[in-house]
C-alpha cells in the first residue's frame, strides 16, 4: 500500500507535511514552510531523493556525504533519529520517532523509499 503526504497548516500559519506509510504510521515530519508552494517543493525533494546516501553522525569519525543525504544522529534522549538534508544544506524533514537501535533507524529510512513510491498528496486538512 503506498504512502501519503499529508499537508497541514500550523497554528502560526506555516505549512507542514507528514509522510504516512501504508500501515498508517507517520514516519517523517517536515520543517515549517512559509508557503504551500515551498511545502510541495519539500515533498518533491523527499520523493526524488528517498534513496540517497546515509551519513552516520553517531560514529566517532563519520564519513562526510554530499548533500542531499540522510543523517543518522543521537538525540538528547540518546535515541537514534534521522533527518533529510537537501542539496542546499537545509533540513527538509526529520524522523517522527526516536529508535532504540541504529538498525531500526536505518530501517525507518528504508521505509521512506517504500512509502514515497506512488505516494499521494492529501491537502484536505488545509480547508479546515
pTM: 0.87
pLDDT the model gives residue 77: 96
Percent of the chain at pLDDT above 90?
83
Q: Count how many domains the chain has.
A: 1
Confidence check: pLDDT of 128 > 70 = no
Confidence check: pLDDT of 127 > 80 = no
Residue with cell 498508517: 24
Q: What is the mean pLDDT of residues 67-85?
A: 95
* Strand 120-122, strand 15-20: pairing: unpaired
Q: Alpha-carbon torsion 94, 95, 99, 103, what sign?
A: negative
Burial class (CB in 10 A: 0-12, 13-18, 19+), 37: exposed
- What CATH number does the domain containing 47 carry? 2.30.29.80
**12-31 residue pLDDT tens:** 999 999 999 988 999 999 99
Domain limits for position 56: 4-127
Q: Quote the mean pLDDT of the chain.
A: 93
Confidence check: pLDDT of 1 > 90 = no
Amino acid at each position: 500500500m503506498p504512502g501519503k503526504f499529508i499537508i497541514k497548516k500550523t497554528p502560526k500559519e506555516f505549512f507542514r507535511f507528514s509522510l504516512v506509510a501504508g500501515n498508517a504510521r507517520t514516519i517523517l515530519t517536515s520543517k515549517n514552510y512559509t508557503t504551500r508552494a515551498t511545502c510541495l517543493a519539500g515533498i518533491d525533494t523527499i520523493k526524488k531523493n528517498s534513496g540517497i546516501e546515509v551519513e552516520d553522525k553517531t560514529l566517532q569519525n563519520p564519513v562526510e556525504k554530499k548533500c542531499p543525504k540522510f543523517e543518522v544522529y543521537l538525540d538528547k534522549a540518546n535515541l537514534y533519529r534521522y533527518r533529510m538534508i537537501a542539496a542546499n544544506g537545509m533540513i527538509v524533514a526529520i524522523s517522527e520517532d526516536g529508535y532504540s537501535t541504529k538498525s531500526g533507524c536505518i530501517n525507518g529510512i528504508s521505509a521512506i523509499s517504500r512509502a514515497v513510491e506512488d505516494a499521494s498528496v492529501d491537502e484536505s486538512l488545509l480547508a479546515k
